[in-house]
């Protein structure tokens, strides 16, 4: 059957908005059919080291230069680069040499985030989320929604994500490196947007601090913090890089939290259900002075209108993260303002404040008195 023309549909009285929606759907559906392709090609670019090679070269490179440096097939590399250029991840520059135009590949702000090193690198985060262990649970998301059996991660691997990481040091290291990527984005935003939350704090414990990247940045950005305690599971703390002014302590936050003027938690509580969050926060409250102490939480806040107004481009990330929590944790979730208020109040804190920053996270201060 021939496709009915737009003019005919309008004559039949079908609203133009419906016709436009139908036209968009014909295109949009392909994003969901092949949605995994972008992640796979970007992962390929990181593994090949394309951005790193161009950066090291110091100027844009031709296909032959790039394929020679990478020691790979130029025809296949051309296809990869064509895809990435079309997504504006790299850019193609035509330069005339002896009147013959030659294509050169150059960096963009996005491609620089695919470099393995650098303050803006997000490569480890991409490699973590695209790794086989993290992709497998997504196939069981519908079973999780139906509440059948264990969590999606446990169904895929036979144990939760934390036990899996403990038994697989390479994956644990990738988790730490990915969290360090986020810390390099979030911590400067915290310091620039609300460093005053650390005013008067002389000792700070970072609960679930991983390899200590966030705490190192906080201590450097807030030099009045004389001592930092990086607190994480023993197998994590034992391999954290030594740093002056920071002590690495291994332990279980469900059992105790080292004492300090303030406790800092970034992307920790969203891994757990409400009851577990309340338990963790009670341990944090017990670790700080009642009169001057505080707990500083850096987490996404779903539906934070202030943050959406300030940076509309980040408003969807919290909802994406909520799906990640559903796939990768047993009962973890991203929380709304009301849900954060509930767990903070139930943990015994008398009041709290929420402040937006130029990052996915907001900063929540919880006060015991």
pLDDT at position 210 over 70: yes
Q: Is residue 259 part of a domain?
A: yes
Residue 169, classified by CB atoms within 10 Å of its CB into exposed (0-12), middle (13-18) or buried (19+), is exposed
Identify which has the larger pLDDT, 299 or 310.
Answer: 299
> Which residues have C-beta within 8 Å of that of residue 267, sequence separation ≥ 6?
179, 182, 208, 298, 299, 361
pLDDT at position 34 over 90: yes
What proportion of the chain, given as a percentage, has pLDDT over 90?
80
Which of 112, 136, 151 lies at the terminal end of a domain, its last residue? 112
pLDDT tens track for 153-177: 999 999 999 999 999 999 999 999 9
Do 245 and 329 fall into the same domain?
yes
Mean of pLDDT values over 174-190? 95
Look up 129 and say whether it is catalytic: no
Residue 12's pLDDT is: 64
Q: What CATH number is associated with residue 347?
A: 3.40.50.150
Q: Is residue 170 part of a domain?
A: no
pLDDT at position 151 over 90: no
pLDDT tens track for 42-91: 999 999 999 999 999 999 999 999 999 999 999 999 999 999 999 999 99
> Which residues have C-beta within 8 Å of that of residue 299, sequence separation ≥ 6?
265, 266, 267, 269, 270, 334, 335, 340, 361, 362, 364
Do 103 and 248 fall into the same domain?
no
Do 79 and 211 fall into the same domain?
no
Which of 112, 146, 176 lies at the terminal end of a domain, its last residue? 112
How far apart CA 211 and CA 218 sit, in angstroms, is 14
Q: What CATH number is associated with residue 54?
A: 1.10.10.10
Residue 99's pLDDT is: 73
Do 312 and 193 fall into the same domain?
yes
Q: Is residue 156 part of a domain?
A: no
pLDDT tens track for 312-334: 567 789 999 999 999 999 999 99
Q: Is residue 130 part of a domain?
A: no
- When divided into structural domains, the chain yields a total of 2
Q: Is residue 52 part of a domain?
A: yes
pLDDT tens track for 236-255: 999 999 999 999 999 999 99
Mean of pLDDT values over 284-310? 84
Q: How far is CA 140 from CA 29, 34, 160, 168, 171, in A?
A: 22, 19, 14, 22, 20
Q: Which domain holds residue 340?
A: 185-367
Do 215 and 74 fall into the same domain?
no
Residue 100's pLDDT is: 79
Query: 9-23, 99-113, 226-240, 247-261: lowest mean pLDDT where?
Result: 9-23
Q: Which of 171, 248, 270, 328 is catalytic?
A: 270
pLDDT at position 20 over 90: no
Contact 285, 347 (CB under 8 A): yes
Do 189 and 338 fall into the same domain?
yes
pLDDT tens track for 101-128: 899 999 999 999 999 998 899 999 999 9
Q: Which of 154, 177, 299, 365 is catalytic?
A: 299
pLDDT at position 306 over 60: no
Do 89 and 190 fall into the same domain?
no
Q: Is residue 17 part of a domain?
A: no
pLDDT at position 184 over 90: yes
Q: Which of 154, 177, 334, 365 is catalytic?
A: 334
Residue 67's pLDDT is: 98
Q: Is residue 162 part of a domain?
A: no
Look up 247 and say whether it is catalytic: no
pLDDT at position 18 over 60: yes
Identify which has the larger pLDDT, 257 or 307.
Answer: 257
Do 202 and 68 fall into the same domain?
no
Q: Is residue 206 part of a domain?
A: yes
How far apart CA 127 and CA 179 sit, in angstroms, is 12
Do 70 and 198 fall into the same domain?
no
Look up 299 and say whether it is catalytic: yes
pLDDT tens track for 343-356: 999 999 999 999 99
Do 201 and 95 fall into the same domain?
no
How far apart CA 6 and CA 22 sit, in angstroms, is 11
Do 208 and 342 fall into the same domain?
yes
Residue 245's pLDDT is: 92
Do 97 and 228 fall into the same domain?
no
pLDDT at position 144 over 90: no
Which of 112, 136, 169 lies at the terminal end of a domain, its last residue? 112
């Amino acid at each position: 059957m021939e496709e009915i023309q737009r003019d005919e549909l309008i004559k039949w009285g079908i609203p133009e908005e419906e016709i436009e929606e139908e036209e968009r759907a014909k295109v949009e559906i392909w994003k969901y059919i092949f949605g995994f392709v972008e992640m796979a090609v970007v992962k390929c670019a990181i593994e090949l080291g394309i951005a790193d090679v161009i950066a090291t070269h110091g100027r844009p490179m031709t296909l032959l230069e790039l394929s020679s440096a990478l020691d790979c097939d130029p025809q296949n590399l051309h296809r990869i680069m064509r895809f990435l250029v079309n997504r504006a991840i790299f850019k193609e520059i035509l330069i005339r040499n002896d009147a013959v135009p030659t294509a050169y590949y150059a960096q963009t702000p996005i491609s620089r985030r695919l470099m393995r090193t650098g303050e803006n690198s997000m490569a480890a985060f991409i490699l973590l989320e695209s790794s086989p262990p993290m992709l497998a649970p997504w196939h069981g998301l519908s079973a999780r929604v139906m509440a059948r059996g264990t969590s999606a991660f446990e169904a895929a691997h036979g144990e939760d994500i934390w036990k899996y990481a403990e038994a697989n040091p390479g994956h644990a290291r990738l988790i730490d490196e990915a969290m360090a990527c986020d810390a390099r984005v979030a911590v400067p935003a915290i310091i620039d947007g609300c460093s005053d939350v650390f005013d008067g704090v002389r000792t700070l414990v970072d609960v679930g601090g991983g390899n200590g990247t966030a705490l190192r940045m906080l201590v450097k950005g807030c030099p009045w913090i004389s001592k930092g305690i990086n607190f994480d599971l023993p197998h994590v703390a034992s391999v954290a890089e030594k740093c002056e002014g920071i002590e690495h302590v291994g332990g279980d936050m469900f059992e105790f939290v080292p004492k300090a003027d303030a406790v800092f938690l970034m992307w920790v509580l969203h891994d757990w259900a409400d009851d577990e969050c309340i338990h963790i926060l009670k341990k944090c409250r017990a670790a700080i002075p009642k009169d001057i102490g505080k707990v500083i939480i850096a987490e996404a806040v779903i539906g934070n209108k202030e943050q959406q107004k300030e940076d509309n481009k980040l408003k969807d990330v919290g909802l994406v993260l909520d799906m990640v929590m559903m796939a990768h944790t047993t009962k973890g979730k991203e929380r709304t303002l009301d849900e954060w208020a509930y767990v903070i109040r139930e943990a015994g804190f008398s009041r709290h404040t929420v402040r937006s920053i130029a990052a996915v996270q907001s900063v929540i201060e919880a006060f015991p008195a």
